[in-house]
Each structure stands twice: as structure tokens, then as C-alpha cells.
Amino acid sequence: MSGPAAAAVYTLLAIAWTWPLSAGLTTDLPWDLGDSLLNCWILAWHFHQAGRVLHGDLGAFADWWHPNIFHPAPYGLGQSELLVAQALQGAPVYAATGNILLTYNLLFLSSFVVSALGAFLLVRSLTRNGTAGFVAGLLYGFALYRVNQGPHLQVLSSQWFPFVLWGLHAWWQDGRLRHAWLAGGALALQNLSNGYFLIYAALWLPPYVLAQIALRGRLRDRRAWLGPVIAAAIGIVITAPFLVPYLQLRRLGQPARPMAAVVQYSADTWAWLTANDQLRLWGSHLQTFVRPEGDLFPGLIPLLLALVAVGFAWAERWPGGQPTRPGVRSWLATILALAAIGHVVAIGLALFAGLQRLHLGPLTLSITDGRRLLTGLAIALVGLLATSPRARRLLRDDPQRPVVLWVGLAAVTVWLSFGPVVHIGGRTARTWPSLYAVIYDLVPGGDALRVPPRIAMVTALALSVLGGLAAASLLRRRQGTLVTGVLAVAFVAESWPAPVPVNLRIDPAPLRPLTEPLPPRPADHPLARALAALPPEAVILDLPLGALPYEVWWQYLSIGHWRARLNGFSGDAPPAFLALVQRLAPFPDALAAGTLDEAEQAAVLATIRAHGATHVLVHAGAWPSPAPAAALRTWLQRAGASPLSTVGATEIWRLPP
């Protein structure tokens, strides 16, 4: 299959897979109105700043990292993903249409198509088989994990990983400079798409490169190293300037992610047996252990194809090795092989079935001590490699068919997904070592990541490559084309989520639900127009404060006016803002209840002034009762504030100088 044909099929499949989104490209957003709106705001901020530069306002460079949220805290853009690569992709669409929803949706759809195309190109180059590449593209571009991450454009934007590897493999084959440039550019784009993937790439790409060069017998060949070095240099040079907001936030005292928060969002081992409820085939049947970010089931077809790839590798490599002579070494190798297999089975049963004892006839073995099991497996494997030439041949990968390498990478990423503390079915398993704890403690930036399971996207890449290698082997056999086609169709069926939800509202209880339609151009919204008429130096406080659905909604509307705001919503928040929420969130209700004396009311006003607010917006329609808004109105009048206008149920007040 050719690249254009594959891209066309992937595009049609992406439209169908995410239906009915394509019917509302200019008016809707996939999944919920939470992180999707945040990402729209981030993209629009980049476009706004770029527009200022193009109109000659070079001051936009100075405040690029300081958007209009969390005033007066600096580097507000560094509280979440920067989405720089996505902004570069979406800029032409936004420049032509001014529709941020259309821009977001095209980026969303393209993440499926480009991911699939990248895996297609990588595996086609490895196997010289377009059909095998097409299967790999299906497995990666439409991996089940993408349904888990539907609201998170930054996680879906994993499309550049395969292009990095494609460029590196082309370099090792041909040694042309353009391939190193391709790998480096793709690495930079991946780094600038998602901070998680930046750190994950720094962890798994160097061992992959080392293994590939070693498998090719070129460890002393400077030319083999030159391409990866060029790619790494390009990625580092382009990425480094965009780390400034994160580094500055740390310098200013922004704390690391609390260990408790990382543990909360880590994957239970049973997450790999839990399917997202949006999946039509598995969603209602495989609900083993439901929790946030905890549905990582990769699908039966990718797992089956991975086993097929391992089986073909064994069948091709094992017989060709020099047989071990009968005797002690032969018996020892057999015993060690059985021990290794037994340890793998015991580890699987302990982690994914929750078994604590293994009954072997009259013998009962405890399998609760993970360190002991992993140590036993390591000893068995080392002993097997030392005693068996066939075992060494089996584990010595073909660089064009690196089955063992990708199986190892998949296993390590699954292990990393468990986070700093391993949990099995909700039970803390402290005897099982955590690889992620090492990253959290020692890797720069590792303590800034909150959701370890997002490395499952790298697992999906590993399974897609293994699936492509398996397909290439199947296609060389009788009925292989039919079997491969059936497996491809079966995978599409098990990954199918359509119809996907659009414009899902997040419950703001105890406040009233938001019901306003989503404006494709926030500047057209009446409230945004009214705020755009305020002086450019105006600083706004929206009340009530701290309710996620309202915060992200008002932030999205600020695309239409870009006035500075005390409010904000992002992946993280400055400590000063968290303190402000703690102080002001209960204030309207307490004011309405009459439980605050004049000194306490004056202290709240002083806090608002200290944060630089010049205007207060009272969103009376947010409360189920009129009392909080009425109490705020009276309080503002006593403080000397002036009512400027009312837009719908929102009152705009100007604080006195």
C-alpha cells in the first residue's frame, strides 16, 4: 500500500471513528468542555501573541509566557502544556477562519491520521511491506488508549515518535543528512507537543539507539552515532528555549507535584484489564477496576499480534542456533528456561490476577514478594544466556525486526505506568519495586508529571510495531493476507468508540449548570465584547471563584478580550492563586449568611486590591439562590464600587481607585 492511499484510509477512518464530531467541526468540541476549552485558550493565546508580533508589537515576545490568567503571578502559561507544535500546525487554519473550534478539531483529527501515517512509514521501512505498515498504523493511530485521552489533545499528539524512529532507521541504512534532520525535527515537534513525552523520550530513545547500533555491530562506527547525535542536538536546541517558563516557575518557588497526587493518578495493575466505557465492544464488559486515568486495556488484537511476533521470532531464531550438547549444560539450560517461564507466569498472575499464592499440586508458593520474583527472573535469564547458545541467538534481535527490543520496551512502560507505589486491585503492594519512583526522585522534570499512565501511549507504539512485524510474517504465509485482514478489521471493531460525546458539560454543583451554547469565536460573545471595551490595563475578578466549569468557560471567553484576570484554570496553579481561592470561594455565601463582620469584609477587599483587581464581575446566574449575588452587590456598593453594565446575568463593577 502506498503512503497516500494509507493516509486517505486513515483520514476516512478518523472521521468515522470520531463521529459525529465532523458534522460540527466549527461548533462543537469532542468529549467534555474542560481541558478541551483550556487547550483552545492556549492555542488562541499563541495566535494572539503571534498576531501582535506580525503587527510590529515586539513587546509580545517579552510577555509571551505571561498570559491573562492568575494575575499578577508570572509565567502562567507554564502551568500546563505549551502546545507549541500544535499552534504551529493550527496557525494557518486560525489565520484563515478565526474559528478556534475548527482549528482545535482539525488538530484533534490530524493527531489520529498523522500518528497512523508515522507508524505506517516506520514499519514499512522495517519490513519492506506496505500492508504490514498499514496494520501498524491502525494499531497506533487508533489505539484503544486514545479513547481514554479523548479530551487531552496534548496526549493524543504523539504522532512524531514514529517519524523520529523512521528518520534514524533511514540514517543507519543510507547515512543521508536529511534523515538525521527529519529525526531531529520530529523529536523537537514531539517535545513541544507534550512535556510528558519530552521526558519519556529522553528515557527510552537513548537505550533504543544504543541497542540498534549494537545489533548492527557498529558500536565503534562513528558514522552510526553521527545521525542520532545530530537528531538529539536539533531536538535539544529547538526545545530548550521553551523550557524557560517551567524553569522560572521552579526558581520562583513553584512546588513539585506532591507524591500523593502522583500516586492518586497512577495506574493500578488492574488498569491494564480495564476498558474505557466509551468503547463499544469492551466498555460495558471489562470494568475490572474503574478509576480516573485507569482504563489502559490495549485490546486483544494488539496483544495477540505481539505474541505472534514473538512466536515467529522464536521459530526463526531458535532452530538456527548451535544445539547444546546433551549433558549437564543442556539440563541446566532446560531448568533455567522453565524457571524463567515460571517466574514470568507468577509475575503475571500476581500483578494482573491478584493471586497471592500459586498452587502446584501439593506445593503452594507465595507470589506476594515482587522483589524476590523479579530477582529470580533476572537470575534465570542471566543463567540461561550463559549456558544456552540458542537462548543467546533468540534474544539477539534483527535490527530490522527488533521483536525483543519492543517487547522489553512495552514491559518497561507498563511497569512505569504503576507510578511511585505499586497497587494491585486497590491493595498497596510495597514488596513490588517501583521504577517510576526513580524517575520522580532523580530525573529532572520527573516530579512535575502527575499522571504516570500516560506512558501507555509509548506502550501503544511498541505494540503497533510488534503488530506490524507480526503482520509481515503472516503475509509471507498461505492465507496470510486473509488472516491479516480479519485481524485488522477485528481491531477496528474493538477500538471503536463512535458516536463519541461532544460538548459534555461538567457538573459545577452546588452552582447552577452552564447551558450557554459554545461560541466558535469568543469575541462575538456579548460578555467578551463588553469586557473588550474596558481599558487595556483592566484586571478582572470573576465571582464565584474556583468552580472548574465556570473558570474554564470564562477563560475561554477571554479569548475575545484578553483582559488580565485574577481567575484561571490550568494543569497546575500558582500557590498565591490557591490561597486566593481558599479565601474567596466561600466569601459570597458567607456574606449572604451574615457571618462576616466588617473587619473580615474589609480584609477580603484588601486581598482583592493586593492582587491588582480593578473590576469585579458578579455572575448572578451561577448561584441557585439570588442571595449571594445580592449580598455581593451591597458589599460592592459599600466599598465604593460603581456598576458599569449588566450583560445577561453578569454585572460588571469598577472598583474605586
Q: What is the pLDDT of residues 622-631, one digit of tens each?
A: 999 999 999 9
Please report the pLDDT score of residue 323 as a whole number.
52
Please determine, for residue 378, whether its predicted confidence score (pLDDT) is greater than 70: yes
Task: Give the Cβ contact number of residue 320 at 10 Å.
Answer: 9
Instruction: Tell me the pLDDT tens digit for each residue of 459-479.
Output: 999 999 999 999 999 999 989
Please report the pLDDT score of residue 296 as a whole number.
97
Please report the pLDDT score of residue 325 as a whole number.
56
Task: Give the Cβ contact number of residue 325 at 10 Å.
Answer: 8
Contact criterion met (CB below 8 Å) for 565 and 552: no
In sequence order, which ranges of 322-417 are alpha helices (DSSP H)?
328-352, 370-387, 389-395, 403-417
* pTM to 2 decimal places: 0.95
Please determine, for residue 437, whether its predicted confidence score (pLDDT) is greater than 80: yes
For all residues of the chain together, what is the average pLDDT?
94
549-574 average pLDDT score: 97
Please determine, for residue 376, whether its predicted confidence score (pLDDT) is greater than 90: yes
Instruction: Tell me the pLDDT tens digit for each residue of 282-328.
Output: 999 999 999 988 999 999 999 999 999 999 998 887 775 455 456 67
Backbone angles phi, psi at 502, to 5 degrees: -130, 145
Residue with cell 482539525: 106
Please report the pLDDT score of residue 369 as a whole number.
92
CB-hemisphere CA count at 13 Å for 596?
21
Contact criterion met (CB below 8 Å) for 317 and 394: yes
Backbone angles phi, psi at 318, to 5 degrees: -65, -50
- How distant, in Å, are the alpha carbons of 127, 504, 508, 525 from that of 515? 52, 11, 11, 14
User: What pLDDT band is residue 36 in, cutting at 50, 70 and 90?
Assistant: very high
211-219 average pLDDT score: 94
Q: Where are the domains of the chain?
A: 3-26+99-306+403-494, 325-387, 522-654
Higher pLDDT, residue 325 or 10: 10
Higher pLDDT, residue 323 or 263: 263
Q: Spell out the residues 6+ positions from residue 287 whose beta carbon is closer than 8 angstroms to its own.
A: 274, 275, 277
Least confident of 42-46, 439-443, 454-458: 439-443
Tell me if residue 401 falls in helix, strand or coil: strand
Higher pLDDT, residue 360 or 223: 223
Contact criterion met (CB below 8 Å) for 41 and 559: yes
User: What pLDDT band is residue 615 in, cutting at 50, 70 and 90?
Assistant: very high
Please report the pLDDT score of residue 320 as a whole number.
55
- How distant, in Å, are the alpha carbons of 29, 449, 591 from that of 17? 15, 29, 50
User: What pLDDT band is residue 172 in, cutting at 50, 70 and 90?
Assistant: very high
At residue 288, what is the residue type? Answer: T
Please report the pLDDT score of residue 364 as a whole number.
77
> Quick one: what percent of the chain has pLDDT higher than 90?
89
Contact criterion met (CB below 8 Å) for 350 and 373: yes
**CA-closest candidate to residue 127, choices 475, 544, 532:** 475
Separation between Cα atoms, residue 605 and residue 160, nearest integer Å: 49
Backbone angles phi, psi at 477, to 5 degrees: -115, 165
Please report the pLDDT score of residue 454 as a whole number.
97
Please report the pLDDT score of residue 586 as a whole number.
95
Tell me if residue 194 falls in helix, strand or coil: coil
Contact criterion met (CB below 8 Å) for 624 and 510: yes
How many residues belong to the chain? 657
Instruction: Tell me the pLDDT tens digit for each residue of 180-199.
Output: 999 999 999 999 999 999 99
